[in-house]
Amino acid sequence: VFGVADVTSFGGETTQFQLILDPAKMNEYNLSLKQVIDAITLNNSNSGGSILARGDQGFVVRGIGLVRTLDDMGNIVLTQKGGTPVYVKNIARLQLGALQRRGILGKDQNPDTVSGIVLLLRGQNPSTVLEGIHEKVEELNTKILPPDIKVVPYMDRSDLVNTTLTTVSHTLLEGMTLVIIILVVFLGSPRSAMIVAITIPVSLLFAFILMDFTGIPANLLSLGAIDFGIIVDASIVVMESILRRREIDPHSVLTVEDIQNTTAQIAKPIFFATSIIILSYLPLFAFQRVEKKLFTPMAYAVGYSLAGALLVALALIPALAYLSYRKPKKIFHNPGLIWLEKKYDVLMHRVIANPFKAVIPAIASMVVAVVLSVFIGKEFLPYLDEGSIWMQIQLPPGLSLQKASEMASEIRHAVKEFPQVTYIVTQLGRHDDGTDPWTPSHIESSVGLAPYSTWPSGMRKHDLIDKLNERLKKIPGIYVGFSQPMIDGVNDKISGAHSELVVKVYGNDFLETRRLAENIKQLLLKVPGSADVGIDQEPPLPQVIINIDRAAAARYGINVQDIAELIEVGIGGRAIGTVFVGERRYDIAARYQESVRNSPEAIGNLLLKTPSGAR
């Protein structure tokens, strides 16, 4: 699908070509681990021999030596004994196995499933790309996959896009309706109100054209920042000026010159007033990183819409007003506005006669505003409901993958007790490529919600979160933090943590910084209004540490690298090569059989070969 950057998977198993080495047989043939690794590396390669000319043709010379099957790998020669070759299959069991898992994905009642995350290419239209993805998923389900396997979307960005478009559409429609009603009331004429109201759709169209031309996305923040009252200000001033010109001589015919002169008198102040509003958004263009992604489109959207409103006010409104009011016509006067105007004149005369009556309240208002700004609550972004919940769950440290999976199943079962929840997915640990830092003691969970219209009357999302929190507290040993999928990612990019407020502790001593973090956590829990206070760091894990005795290694002529290779390959099962099967690639992993590496004592009894051949 054009516009897709990558598809990452979570869950399932990663296939490997595995060599389960038998140390006893290696000792029998006097083979070291390094000899086995070197033999497989030297016997798994292709080569090129340039071009062979044969008459008028040139043939590419290629040597094919790549391992393709388990039999190929098993027939690699390691050494010989008594004139008889010793093969890999003589000292190891060869099998197709799975990379040791570091994570499990569960969904609802299924404890072990697979998910795919589709990443959007930067600059692409999400709606267009999502349509292409839906088509491909439908093709996979109907034409390619077996009947008992289906791709089932559970977190679809289309839902959020459609919700956002619906919210913005309703907001725009409600705003336009409200503005039109106010214009009719204050202008006293439905005709003049409709003329002024034309400013809204035309200025938005102008803004959308420029946003598309300059590659600025339309989103909830950018469109939600457009103020219809400010957009129609210039048009109202122009319309009022023309109506006043009409009132001066209601029995004469207005000429084009009359409209031009009236508009010219107010064009300059209107232009500068609108320009000042646009310039007030300039600081938003200085933002960087995530702040730039969030707020710069808003500045563009507001600036473009105000520029379009200015053009409408100075070009379109005068023309429409001329067509509507050029003929003699009596202008309607709103009695309520006439009464307000008289009161305003009296008030203005008093203020002008004694200016301190205006200066003192203005200074007092400014002081109160400054004081309130110190104590008023502040946040990076207002709460935007994404229609779902994202949970960060910390389990007791050092859990095995199997035990952590059992706890994840218990969490899913507890969350599904609430009818407002449509699905829950738990990402336990990390996926096989190892790019995430999480251990099996950490879970990231996505919770889908039913439409709010189906919820009990008066129940809000925060109420459900409170109930979920109370229910999950009954599961011993876990800590749960609640957020939303998109804002969780934004917070992670901004501060490196999954929270809006973060306290960072720096130092070189891990245990000491951990102790300080625990103390800070206890203090923050006492702060009124604090919630979901936790330490966003994996706790210390139980370890089996192998300390290398350098003096003893030197006596035997053994390098530290030889010991490290034994740990990484023999115990850990590191990949030592690659097998290509068509367009797919698989790791070749070597590892000692489990019986010789399943305890510290067994690991301590593993043998190393010295340069002299001794063990």
Secondary structure of residue 91 in the 3-state scheme: helix
pLDDT value at residue 413: 94
Confidence of residue 495 (pLDDT cuts 50, 70, 90): low
pLDDT at position 540 over 80: no
Report yes or no: 284 and 295 within 8 Å, Cβ to Cβ.
Answer: yes
Average pLDDT of the residues in 525-543: 78
Other C-beta atoms closer than 10 Å to the C-beta of 606 total 16
Confidence of residue 419 (pLDDT cuts 50, 70, 90): very high
Domains and CATH numbers, the chain: 4-100+572-604 (3.30.2090.10), 159-332 (1.20.1640.10), 388-525 (3.30.70.1430)
- Report the interhelical angle of 199-214 vs 190-197 (nearest 10°): 0
Confidence of residue 186 (pLDDT cuts 50, 70, 90): confident
Report yes or no: 290 and 490 within 8 Å, Cβ to Cβ.
Answer: yes
pLDDT value at residue 511: 83
Report yes or no: 596 and 605 within 8 Å, Cβ to Cβ.
Answer: yes
pLDDT value at residue 423: 92
Nearest to 444 by CA among 97, 53, 63, 155: 155
Distance, CA of 308 to CA of 213 (rounded, Å): 15
Other C-beta atoms closer than 10 Å to the C-beta of 597 total 20
pLDDT value at residue 382: 65
pLDDT at position 408 over 70: yes
pLDDT at position 494 over 70: no
Contacts by 329-336, CB closer than 8 A, 24 or more apart: 329/246, 329/250, 330/250, 331/188, 331/189, 331/243, 331/246, 331/247, 331/250, 332/188, 332/189, 333/188, 334/185, 334/186, 334/188
Report yes or no: 155 and 446 within 8 Å, Cβ to Cβ.
Answer: yes
pLDDT per position as a tens digit, 37-77: 999 999 998 888 889 888 888 889 989 889 999 999 999 99
Average pLDDT of the residues in 515-540: 82
DSSP β-ladder status, 57-63 and 77-81: unpaired
**255 burial level (CB within 10 Å; 0-12, 13-18, 19+):** exposed
